[in-house]
Amino acid sequence: MHNYIDLHRHAAVRAAMLDHPAVALRLVVAHAITGSGLWQVRPEPQRAANETVTASLAGCKAEAAFGKKRREVLALLGSPDEDSLVAGGNGDAVAIAGVFARLLALCDDDVMRVLTLVVAETLAAGSAVVEALGNHLNVDMGIWWQPDDAFFDLLRDKEIANSMLADVGGKLVADGNVAEKVKTQKNIIRDFLAGENGRPWVETWLPRWMKFPAESYTSRSGSAPRSVDTSAAAVRARIVDQGPSGGSLDYRRSGRARRYGPRRLPIGRLVEPVPRARNSDASSPHFGSPAPRRVAC
């Protein structure tokens, strides 16, 4: 009998929801935040390979801007923790109902702010989708990033360093220092970027790896970051070369999604569940209080 009741109630509710896309949108966002038995959405863990990369990312202008927006979204969701992630819940049924109720009380613009943040949190670093999105949004990395100590510490390829020197100081300077050690060539690049030691100041410079679309310095396998080797080529093949329509892609054959590590503290745990009506039966599947009305932004 339980199965009979559950399936008929499920059929009726999902049929009724088809006439309420705004409610469905809020339920999608709630699922993405807390997860469920059928939904699993994991935030990008941003695992750094070493402490140098960790320190560089911590001082990143883009991360600071993202953190500010995240705190605003956490406030919309009523979270007391300003430093927690929004996405990455553990599928708790009460938590998803609580987040859903919170979203019902928000206007459409605020719900879209939450959704955008959740999608941004769950972008996979080094993936083709980052390359595709960066190209579509015309992201100017020069606004968000400048060469730092970590970048030069990680630059160890002599041929690539010489190509970068040619980009910054010109072919004549690069050819004149082609036999120098990597450290020497990196120091010359830094002199140009700082306008020191008699070098003319180069105000803006982006390594080819950082651009959208990303480019490589050599044809050698492994000479570029993994995302440049694979993502840029995939984007050009699937989007750029196929025109505005973007062509078609059978996502079901694209392989399993990458598995990430343990999920961190979910916002779903921080939102109060929907209160039951006074004197309601604790075993009742209904939430006693009516859904709050959406407000205008």
pLDDT digits (tens, 9 = 90+) for 180-228: 999 999 999 999 999 999 999 999 999 999 999 999 998 776 556 655 5
For Cα atoms 114, 119, 123, give the angle at the middle one, nearest 5 degrees: 150
Position of tokens 């972008």?
A: 123
Q: How far apart are the first and last CA of the chain?
A: 45
pLDDT the model gives residue 194:
95
Q: Are 87 and 6 in contact (CB under 8 A)?
A: no
Instruction: Give the Cα separation of 109 and 179 in Å (integer).
Output: 58
Residue with tokens 């990455």: 88
Q: Which two tokens stand for residue 16?
A: 């009724």
pTM greater than 0.85: no
Q: Is 296 left (phi over 0), alpha (psi -120 to 50) or beta?
A: beta
Q: State residue 220's pLDDT score.
A: 73
Indicate the DSSP class of residue 242. G
Give the CA radius of gyration of the chain: 25
Residue 159 corresponds to which tokens in the numbers above? Answer: 């041929």
Backbone φ and ψ for 266, nearest 5 degrees, come out as: -85, 145
On the CB side of 66, how many CA atoms lie within 13 Å of its CA?
18
pLDDT in tens, 31-42: 999 999 999 999
> Residue ranges of the chain with pLDDT lower than 50?
237-292
Structure tokens at 109: 């613009």
CB of 217 within 8 A of CB of 160? yes
Residues 238, 249: contact at Cβ < 8 Å?
yes
Structure tokens, 89? 């819940």
Inter-residue contact 216 to 224 (CB < 8 Å): yes
Residue 271 class from Cβ within 10 Å (0-12 exposed, 13-18 middle, 19+ buried)? buried
Per-residue pLDDT, 80: 80
Looking at residue 234, its pLDDT comes to 54
In sequence order, the 6+-apart residues with CB closer than 8 A to the CB of 58 are none
Side chain identity, residue 2: H
State pLDDT tens for residues 44-68. Answer: 999 999 999 999 999 999 999 999 9
Contact 60, 54 (CB under 8 A): no
pLDDT value, residue 241:
41
